[in-house]
Structure 1
């Protein structure tokens, strides 16, 4: 009887040690995955900020370049005809393209 009890206790102990090792491994694995996700998120945010800055810079330079051109161009009248050419808005837009 004693022998059986000792065998059962040793099996329980080995099973406990095995489960403990697996739990530690999974915990470390989760920590590694979480750290990797944080690094990825940080890099993604950095790329997005860089892209946003580039986009803002591009739109700013485009606006700076376009503004002087717009100052010299006359606006068409309300009726759709330009004062100098006599063409309608639609014809003027086709000419621009």
Structure 2
């Protein structure tokens, strides 16, 4: 079965077991907090993780609402791969 995927993007996603990523709270322009490391075992976990962090931040620190803040997730090379806004897009 692996030979069918060899050399394709689905092979990389299927067999890569852990990714070391970082996330922070940012307004994507001038404000950014310290980055925090996370490890995910499946790439599918990433979107759920950022959404949960965003919801928890607003729940515990309601002052962050309506400030244009996001949870940003970065790959191993520091490239932003996902952004989850703390508030719904208006």
TM-score normalized with structure 2 length: 0.28
Higher helix share: 1
**Which structure has more RCO (C-alpha within 8 Å, separation ≥ 6)?**
2
TM-score normalized with structure 1 length: 0.27
Q: Which structure is larger by alpha-carbon Rg, 1 or 2? A: 1
Higher strand share: 2
